[in-house]
Chain A
Amino acid sequence: MEPVADEEDDGSAGANSRAVLEVLPGGRPGGLSVYEASFPPRVAAFLRYSPVIEAAQAARRRDWADGVYDIVTLALTAIDLVVSRQGFEEEATRADVVSALTGLAALAAPDRTAEEHADVARFVIDFLLNRQAHHAKFQYLTSDYSSSERQHQRREVPFSLLEERDDAAREENVLRATADAINALIGGLNFDVADEQVATELVLERQLQRNAFDSAVASAERARLLSLSLSDQLDRLIKQTRRDLRMVEGEWASEVPGRLDGARDHIRERLRAERALLGKVQDAIASGDPLLLAAARRIAELLTECQRRHEDLHRRVIDARGVFLEEQERQSFRPPASITLPDPHRQVFLPALELSQAHAIDLAERFVTDMWGPVAPRLPRLYRLINDLWQQREKTAPEGRSEEEPELSDPPLPLIREEFIAVAIRAVHAVGLPARLSRLLAACEADAEAGESARRSGGEVLNLAVLWAFSPEEADDEGGLIAGDLVGRILGPRAAVDSDGSSLALPGWEGDDVIVAPDSDSLATALPAPVPASRTLQEVL
């Protein structure tokens, strides 16, 4: 066989590549495995370790104890911890992982500070999440020589190891290991999970038979990751189906029914096998051999977890077809989604930066309304409104001082005395609704059961209740319940107030002599008489 390439003979890249193909040994077409279609996936699988290695290199540039912290071990521990709780109710949070890694860092360097240990832990988890790129996927460029024309092509390999997700049932973020991370841990390429799991369990069974418990632990770990991978595949399908069935309609038509049937058979078989294996492990535990005991317990733990995962997966496989049918019906009348979404950066934000002030305000108003969604109108807390009105205005604090002062104390207690409210209620009962505000205030003034001060205060409470019912404003209480309750007590639960432009002619009062009605229907036809300006209160009553 001749040596490689004869560059000087023809000088062209195509001729060189053909020469390489012809002359290299290996017995396969093209001579080198790099020309095979399976090569790029192998390179991509190999790259899954790169972020961890890069993290270890970056750690050397940090101001930490030299070479004490093993970043690779910490990174794999983090992924393992996330995987062990993935799919269960209490999935791992960033705080859980940081806490576990901080403990390990402290064991590695007990003489260093606790802040450094926590810093190391945060560094590892941030690297796995690709914090530097705002949690975007890692991107690597590779060379692909596997095309039939034997040309060189550039490929982009994007992947994530850990992702932070919003947990629908919890008020915190949780971490999920991606299929890439799980595959990296298994050390395999893309494979048929079902076949791989059968193989793993056969190996595990043989290892248990010959009491090779250390190897059996590794196999049980692998079995768990495979279960997780299967679950992840189904989760993705269900989520995509719920989001937009059209994206996976073809998949449902062709592959999914067969896959679900296969998954059901597989789960049934795995549950049986896991029970059998568990029985064998428990025999080992019962034998009491101290050397085997710890490993046997760990295997039993892992197999029990696998069983739980498979039972859970079984439920989801059974439900999957129902999800498809349900979504088919639900989404059939949904208007088609916009075919192309605008590019948030290029088509929205950059033009927004160049808008004039007036247009930018218009855009801000639209965007705020669209982003915020609905907000239930809130009503004022009446006692606060009254307090505010009665309060002597304090000197304004220097700008910026009070902006972020947290409210640490309880809200002030209501200051409206019951006897004032009673005056207002009695006035409404005495006059009856619908009525003009002037008549209601006059009734307060004429209340024989109250003293002079209570009569005046009762009138003010009534006036404020009417004003509030006329124009509810922003309140800071819980949905306006307190204000609503108080006004409901005085004017009735459905009171409605409107103005026909008449002025309040009572001495000491000014503003509109509004009409107060028990409900909006009666308000439409009500035209009660006001208190004539020329008559005294006593004459009126």
Chain B
Amino acid sequence: MTLMRDDHVDIGVLVAWALRPNQRPGRSPEYQRVLDRYRTIAEFRAATDAVLHGLGAEVLSDGDFGLVLGVVPESPLAFRVTDMPGLYKSDHKVIAGLILTGLAAFAYPSAQELDEDRLRPVEVAEFDVWLRDLCERLRSHEAGGEVIPEEGLDAAWRIYLVMPSLHLSETGRLSNKCTRYWIKQTLTWLTGQGMARPDPLVDDRWTLTERFRIHAKEIALERAYSFIAELGRRQADAAGADQGGQP
């Protein structure tokens, strides 16, 4: 099949839908139509994939929840941690990153769980306690006191522990000086991306949606694991070189 002008228009329509994460084909016949074309016409799918490749994006899923895309960091469509409002300090970036990674681990504690599509609930206070407990376990309890690392060399867990769970502003709201504020912020951001949904019956409780699972499973955890493994390899090499260099 040779693609005609209308097919290229449909590719644009499909990509436009895919860039709106809260839209679902079940709610829009037009989205469903172009998604069906993607699923069933090989040439249409190949051309769409090629356009997306040019944009630095790839299809992670084309199921009932629409065309879910992942991006490479160089893509003009990539979202960056600095795009998050209010993330000016490096400590805040570390905390936001830990919370997001932690949400994936909290919701899917094992690799097998990533294959199950039931929804996972997250309560702000409960998640905070869970994360804080993990950080606490990493703290050494030496009789002589803890060694305070140099500036910039502090471990991520310590940055989380240093920030209190709860800090209220003068008006009685959560301030950005506490971890629960950042957990709520992260879940609110995820809600905007169609990856979390607030519980209508209980305050401060969210469920992580199928889109969150797809992103975590299909792209984010694998790349995070590769990054950590590469770091570990480099540190091991450096340690080996140091030892080899010693007389």
By a beta-carbon cutoff of 8 Å, the part of chain A in contact with chain B is 94-95, 98, 122, 131, 134-136, 160, 163-173, 242-243, 326, 329-330, 338, 340-345, 347-377, 398-401, 403-404, 474
Contacts and interface: CB of A to CB of B under 8 A. Distances in A.
B164 interface: no
B80 A398 contact: no
B40 A348 contact: no
A515 to B, nearest CB: 23
Nearest to A239: B117
A352 B99 CA distance: 11
Given A341-B111, A356-B152, A374 B27 contact: no
Nearest to A378: B83
Nearest to B40: A326
A373 B70 contact: yes
Given A160-B118, A341-B217, A349-B104, A365 B225 contact: no
A98 B200 CA distance: 12
B79 A373 contact: yes
B9 interface: no
Most chain A CB inside 10 Å of its own CB: which residue of B19, B105, B173, B193? B105
A173 B117 CA distance: 12
A361 B224 contact: no
Contacts of A375: 19, 77-79, 83
A339 to B, nearest CB: 11
A347 B227 CA distance: 11
A136 B116 CA distance: 10
Interface of B: 18-19, 21-22, 24-27, 39-40, 42, 45, 55, 57, 60, 63-65, 68-71, 73, 75-81, 83-84, 86, 90-91, 93-94, 96-98, 100-102, 104-111, 113-114, 117-121, 134-135, 138, 152-157, 159-160, 168-171, 173-177, 181, 193, 195, 197, 199-202, 207, 209-212, 215-217, 219-225, 227-228, 231-232
A343 to B, nearest CB: 5
Given A135-B119, A345-B110, A399-B169, A368 B80 contact: yes
Contact of A355 (B77, B117, B119, B155): B155
A341 B160 CA distance: 27
Given A160-B118, A363-B227, A403 B175 contact: yes
Contacts of B157: 353-354
A358 B40 CA distance: 46
Contacts of A360: 94, 97-98, 155-156, 159
A164 B40 contact: no
Contact of B224 (A326, A366, A372, A404): A366
Contacts of B176: 399-400, 403
Given A345-B105, A373-B69, 8 more contacts: A164-B121, A173-B197, A338-B222, A360-B155, A370-B224, A371-B100, A373-B70, A373-B193
Given A343-B111, A369-B73, A370-B219, A165 B118 contact: yes
Nearest to A372: B79
Contacts of B211: 166
Contact of A166 (B76, B100, B119, B216): B119
Given A349-B102, A361-B94, A364-B100, A342 B207 contact: no
Contacts of A371: 100, 104, 195, 212, 215-216, 220
12 contacts: A95-B200, A352-B224, A353-B135, A357-B91, A357-B155, A363-B101, A363-B228, A366-B224, A369-B78, A373-B68, A375-B77, A401-B169
Contacts of A122: 201-202
B83 A367 contact: no
Contacts of A338: 222
A360 B154 CA distance: 10
A158 to B, nearest CB: 11
Nearest to B213: A166
Nearest to A360: B156
B169 A400 contact: yes
B215 A353 contact: no
Contacts of A168: 24-26, 63-65, 210
B121 to A, nearest CB: 6
A352 B101 contact: yes
Among all A-B residue pairs, the 6 with the closest Cβ atoms: A364-B97, A169-B26, A400-B169, A400-B175, A168-B64, A349-B105
A347 B225 contact: yes
A198 B119 CA distance: 35
A340 B112 CA distance: 10
B78 A403 contact: no
Nearest to B214: A373
Given A163-B118, A164-B207, A354-B155, A367 B171 contact: no
Contacts of B106: 134
Contacts of B26: 167-170
B34 to A, nearest CB: 16
B193 A357 contact: no
A403 B40 CA distance: 47
B228 A399 contact: no
Nearest to B171: A401
A348 B201 contact: no
Contacts of B45: 330
Contacts of B199: 94
Contact of A401 (B97, B170, B224, B231): B170
Contacts of B119: 135, 163-166, 173
B152 A352 contact: no
B104 A353 contact: no
A173 B201 CA distance: 12
A134 B120 contact: yes
Given A338-B222, A369-B78, A135 B121 contact: yes
B171 to A, nearest CB: 5
B170 A369 contact: no
Contacts of B57: 374
Given A169-B26, A369-B80, A370-B220, A131 B153 contact: no
Contacts of B217: 341
A134 B105 CA distance: 12
A404 B69 contact: no
B226 to A, nearest CB: 9
Contact of A361 (B40, B64, B93, B197): B93
A354 B64 CA distance: 38
A352 B118 contact: no
B223 A370 contact: yes
B221 A341 contact: yes
Contacts of B39: 326, 330
Contacts of A372: 78-79, 193, 215
Given A169-B27, A374-B75, A399-B169, A366 B227 contact: yes
B173 A342 contact: no
Contacts of B201: 94-95, 98, 122
Contact of A377 (B25, B77, B134): B77
B111 A401 contact: no
Nearest to B154: A357
Contacts of A94: 199, 201
B77 A344 contact: no
B114 A341 contact: yes
Contacts of A163: 118-119
